[in-house]
Structure 1
Amino acid sequence: MEEFDYEEVVKATENFNPRKMIGKGSHGVVYEGVVVKDSIKRMVAIKKPSEGLEDNSKLENEIQVLTSLGQNPHVVNLIGTTRYDKNKKKLIVMDLMANGTLHDMLHENKTPPTWPKRVEMAMQIARSVQFLHGEKPVVIHRDIKSSNILFDSQWNAKLADFGLAVRGVDSLSQPAGTIGYLDPCYTTPDKLSTKNDIFSFGVVLLEMVSGRKAIDVCKTPSSLVEWAMRLIEQKLFKEICDGRVAVPDNMVATVSYLLRCAARCVSENEDERPSARDVVLGMERCFVERVSRFLPSWKCVLVWLRKKIVISVGVQSHERRIRCIAEEEGEEDDAVSSANKVSITIRQVLAHVTFDSHEFNCCQTVSHQTRFGQ
């Protein structure tokens, strides 16, 4: 972890210019900026305490937790810190998440995410929780919500904001979190456990599938969990799905699985909630099975490829390439005569295949008659 000069951070944010502000929470304000290290410019996010906030404990806690964590592709990376006043309070310098939050993607952007993207995000978020819960001692985030899930420049989802996180099961920590995502079972300090995070993750899953906010006072019931659980119990999965984007036939079963998983995560009975590891393994198993069912058999592939392969380099280019090799080895005649017997790997074949969608669909062994709940 690097230690930055305060003047360097001030310059990077243009003296914390409001135009540079990209986020604001209960205990901190986040600015984007550019720092220079070894003549290399790097885009960063800089978090400082909110104006007038005397209590800097949440920011200090975030630094301690992030410092203790190893690198993980699904958690926002801490780059360094800087001290900024006589009381030695610190600012946090992190990787810039250039593409905003999951909350914005679901509720603010004009174009809602596709279903394949939602499935990918679900897996990435589940893996971030698994990573935290696999630490020794365990890390409990306590504030998993859509506005704390950020996207990097490649649109990978990462968990952020560790101001409320705790290392180990601290029975002295007062319950904390965000209404709508907060586990209703977490009412006293001794109720702290990883299952609190699992509940919040379940709410995020429901939010991603439905496109509805965790709490929406304009709707009845206002609670996403209450509304969704009624429909899940009746197996009305389609009624929950975000109506702005139609669910493709070949993803119906996968989305149904996500809803059933979410229902287990938000169960009133903590013992029925899965671990983060079980969530990840279940998702992987579901997704792999669905993909394999929709892939044609190898026999079908080989028959189909025999008819439809189109190699971008023709026979003449093969001849030219072989002639060059042959000239070096002094075997030109034999090499050219075998130009039509050049062997290629499966990877090369697939890299040059031109697909005919009608014929490919004919190879599929699973019908598109699948429906929700089946």
Structure 2
Amino acid sequence: MDMKELIKFDVRGNDLNGRIPDSIDQLLNLQYFRVLIGNKFESPLPAEISNLTKLEYLLVSDLNGGGFEFPDFSKMNSLKYLTLRKCLLTGPIPDTIWKLNTLYYLDLSFNRLFGEIPKDVSSRLPEYIFLRGNELNGTIPAWIMNSTRHIDVSENLFTNNVTEIKNSNSSNLNLFSCLKSDEMATHWEQVGYSCSKKEHLLDHLYINCGGESMPINGTNYEGDLTSNGSSTFFMSSSSSWGFSSMGTYLLSRPWIDTYIINNTCIAGVDDGPLYSTARVSPISLKYYGFCLRNDKYTVKLHFAELVSNDYKAPYIKKSGRVFDVDIQGKNVLENYNIEQKAEGVNKAWTEEIKNVIVNNSKLEIHLYWSGKGSSEVPTDHYGPLISAISVYPSIESGMSPPKMAAISLSALLLLIVLIVYFWKMEDKSHEGVVELYPGGFYNFRKLKAAAKNFKDKLGEGGFGTFYEATLGNGTVVAVEKVSATKDIIRAFREKDSTISLMEHPNLVKLIGCIAEKNQLLLVYEDIGRNSLQNALFGSNRSKLDWATRRNICLGIAEGLAFLHECKQKIVHGNIKPTSIFLDEHRNAKISDFGFSRLHDQGKSRLEGTVVYMAPEYAKYDLLTTKADAYNFGVLVLIVVSGMKEKISMSSSGVDTEYLPDVAAREKHREGHFMNLVDRSMSNTVDWEQADTMLELAMLCLDQYPDQRPTMTQVVKVLKEELELKDLKERLKQLTSGRYRPEPYGEISTAEDTTWHTKSATTSRGGVTDTQISASPSTSRSV
């Protein structure tokens, strides 16, 4: 067969990868092109695809790699169905898209699109327009607000009036979380989806998806009977939960436009009525909890692969439904098949996910169809399906509150006695301090045995070596072995209880510490085996594309912003590639926070960290949040350039073979700034983002601390919630008119800490410096 005569090309739902070939434009008669749905192809789409002028269906989703801009679709006048979902598209939506008069269905959701939607569109508009999960800005035009079409513009950054959004009552228009948040409010809070009073917060959530309210085993499940689902946001009557649904059954029979499925024939469970209904969505279904207390929760997802009673034929005994589930943005179920788990259709199955962290009272459960599995008979309603949701605290007890209080008090008293006892034991001998960990009591010797005598090395951290250990209950942890003085160990132990309570997706969770003699063991959650240092420069280094490197920098920035804004206002002081670890999804996790400043006491300023040190810290021992901003700037240059810092010592001082900030300033001055970008990832780089990141890094490297941005401002720029030029103007206004006799003569930070010079001088490392001290009202955070 001559491939040029091919009309339909469909290999969706496989694991095909690599680039789609440029020679695709030879298929000039192609009308149906679904090749990329449910596969693992790499971006970008070949530009030659625009030559397929007879194409009616172009369905592409879930590309890997780096961002790219729209192909030219100006000649594709036959196009009726266009899906470019989760394809890493960036830039504005081209005007040519709005001029395709034949277009009936448009799905550009979950990309990185920005810019405004045209206020006037003269051509015939698509019946379905899905733009969810982008960064579109400006105002939502009137033709959308007044439309009767199915339109989803949720999760964007528009600037419409809040009242206008609230007053919209179209059942087919999804505006949830569509507004750019201000300095104080989140996207959700800005349109009223929040619990303003603490007494309204709940510690549970029970939803009967697609069904009526009903009691099950003494628990009342709230009803969820809304029939809409193509582009819908629904808020429960209690305002404690809602759902956002998007999609239509494009690949199935078009008259099947139902978002609730019923079947009373559920086998083998006492709570069968809970599984007799389900909510289904062709693409994306997100359930939100709005009023949960901040805590760790167990989330139970109740499933049953329902087959309609209307079908009696034998072949309707199988399904083929496959979808993914994310909770709080983290994937927990991939390529999930209910029928396989439950071993049949119309059978109940429950997935339990423990220790889900809820911050700011918000919970998000996202069920998403990437294109895998069946999309036609017998499935009919393809896409994610769920029967019920149960959410409750991870630690539950059947005891009464008085008994629980009594036991808690007894345990607290026992713990205090043990701490006092072992603290005294530490002063008398060096046999170690026993600490309470998950899995039992551990001392130095027992933890050393759990770490197999420190043989299973994970990597080098910022201050010591990490080893893997397995506790008695099977919990895998990471143990950092650090050499430290007894005074430093004692000082760290005073902070241990505070630091160990801190949790953030970009911080390595510190469980606690054990000390013996001058040896400190820091016990962390399981961190894997990949530090940023190893990923960039190790013998088994990974090939990090642009999107991954940018995400790593964003994660580090968010972690630092959290440390700076928390109640304890922790300053890290030593951010560098060895103190950053990457999880299995290559998300950044910061280690050693709260310990850096203590460990540096009494040590040479040139001991391996001078490259990252802010000048005021290296010269004057002044550690503020702006020193972390300087660290971050250096780290960004290393991540973007892929060049490792090198320092060699000579009798005359520090001989710099490569200092990232020096190299960056030189290239910036010469007009070759973008030459810093690692060429190994040139095919994936978003050059506009790269330019912003490098300019942001240079702001962080300013010699004056008060000219550097806060890490919160850095996060906003990286998330494109704050323009870089606006940030520069803010910093300029903040510091305008200030007198600076020399750098560090007057230093103000985000916490309004002011440092003043004294006339006396001191010698440190052979260099005479002006002494600097804090005003009496200033507090310094570690």
Query: What TM-score range do you get, normalising by the shorter chain?
Result: 0.5 to 0.7
RMSD value, Cα: 3.2
SS in structure 2 at match of 1:139: coil
CA distance in 2, matches of 1:32, 1:252: 39
Check the 8 A contact 1:61/1:165 in 2, yes or no: no
Asked whether the 8 Å contact 1:30–1:45 carries over to 2, the reply is yes
Equivalent residue for 1:22, pick from 433, 436, 458: 458
The yes-or-no answer on 1:205 pairing with 2:642 is no
Amino acid at match of 2:680: R
> What are the residue-to-residue correspondences of 1:295-310 with 2, within 5 Å?
none
Query: Would you say 1:78 and 2:510 are equivalent positions?
Result: yes
**Could you tell me which of 693, 698, 705 is aligned with 1:270?**
705
Report the Cα distance in structure 2 between the residues aligned to 1:63 and 1:75, rounded to whole angstroms: 19
Q: Distance in 2 between matches of 1:173 and 1:271?
A: 27
Task: Note the C-alpha offset of 1:107.
Answer: 1.2
Residue of structure 2 equivalent to 1:10:
448
Q: Which residue of 2 aligns with 1:244?
A: 680
Partner of 1:261: 696
In the alignment, what sits opposite 2:562?
A: 131
1:326 aligns to what? none
Please state if 1:67 is matched with 2:67: no
What is the aligned length? 273
Give the residue type in structure 2 aligned to 1:102.
L
Secondary structure of 1:46 counterpart: strand
C-alpha contact 1:28 1:59 (8 A) present in aligned 2: no
Matched position secondary structure for 2:616? coil
Residues 28-107 of structure 1 mapped to structure 2, 5 A cutoff: 28-37=464-473, 41-50=474-483, 55-65=485-495, 67-69=497-499, 70-83=502-515, 85=516, 91-107=521-537
C-alpha displacement of 1:64: 4.5
Q: Please say if residues 99 and 153 of structure 1, whose CA atoms lie closer than 8 Å, have aligned partners that are also in contact.
A: no
Give the conservation status (yes or no) of the 8 Å contact 2:482–2:519: no
Structure 2 counterparts to residues 114-263 of structure 1, below 5 A:
114-162=545-593, 163-165=595-597, 178-189=609-620, 191-215=622-646, 222-248=658-684, 251-263=686-698
Q: 1:95 to 1:121 in 2, by over 3 A?
A: same
Match for 1:222: what amino acid?
Y
SS in structure 2 of the partner of residue 155 of structure 1? coil
Given residue 97 of structure 1, which amino acid in structure 2 is its aligned partner?
I
SS at match of 1:285: coil
Which secondary structure state, in structure 1, belongs to the residue aligned with residue 679 of structure 2? Answer: coil
Instruction: Name the aligned partner's letter for residue 576 of structure 2.
Output: K
Task: Flag structure 2 segments of 5+ consecutive residues without an equivalent.
Answer: 1-434, 649-654, 725-782
Contact 1:49 1:56 in 2 (8 A): no
Q: Which runs of 5+ in 1 are unaligned?
A: 167-171, 290-374
The structural deviation recorded for 1:225 is 0.8
| Alpha-carbon distance, 1:72 to partner | 1.2
Compared with structure 1, are the counterparts of its residues 256 and 88 closer, same or farther at alpha carbon in structure 2 (3 Å cutoff)? closer
CA contact (8 A) 1:143 1:164 kept: yes
How many Å separate the matches in 1 of 2:464 and 2:486? Answer: 9
For 1:278 and 1:42, locate their aligned partners in 2 and report how far apart those are by CA, in whole Å.
37
Aligned CA distance change for structure 1 residues 184 and 195 (closer, same or farther; 3 Å)? same
For residue 512 of structure 2, give the secondary structure of its aligned residue in structure 1. Answer: strand
Cα offsets for 1:101-140 (capped at 9, x unmatched): 1111111234431100001101100001101111234211
Whether the aligned pair in 2 keeps the contact of 1:232 and 1:263 (CA below 8 Å) is no
Check conservation: 2:581, 2:591, Cα contact below 8 A.
yes
Asked if structure 1 preserves the Cα contact closer than 8 Å seen for 2:459 and 2:531, the reply is no
Distance 1:206 1:102 in 2: 13
CA-to-aligned-CA distance 1:208-242 (integer Å, 9 cap, x gap): 0000123356x975211101112123442331011
What letter is aligned with 2:508?
V
Structure 1: which amino acid aligns with 2:668?
I
Q: Distance in 2 between matches of 1:74 and 1:164?
A: 17
Q: Would the aligned equivalents of 2:629 and 2:711 in 1 still touch at CA under 8 Å?
A: yes
Deviation for aligned residue 1:10:
2.9
Cα 1:75–1:63 shift into 2, 3 Å: farther
Separation (CA, whole Å) in 2 of partners of 1:286 and 1:253: 15
More strand by share: 2
Seq. identity, %: 26
CA–CA distance in structure 1, aligned partners of residues 683 and 588 of structure 2: 21
Structure with more contact order per residue of length (Cα contacts < 8 Å, sep ≥ 6): 1
Are the aligned partners of 2:530 and 2:581 in contact in 1 as well (CA < 8 Å)?
yes
Larger mean CA deviation between 275-284 and 183-192 belongs to 183-192
Q: In structure 1, how many angstroms separate the alpha carbons of the residues matched to 2:490 and 2:582? A: 24
- Partner residue, 1:321: none
Q: Aligned pair in 2 of structure 1 residues 66, 119: CA closer, same or farther (>3 Å)?
A: farther
AA paired with 1:180? Answer: V
Q: CA 1:57 to 1:244, structure 2 compared with 1: closer, same or farther past 3 Å?
A: farther
Q: TM-score, normalised to structure 2's length?
A: 0.32
Work out whether residues 512 and 524 of structure 2, in 8 Å CA contact, stay in contact via their aligned partners in 1: yes
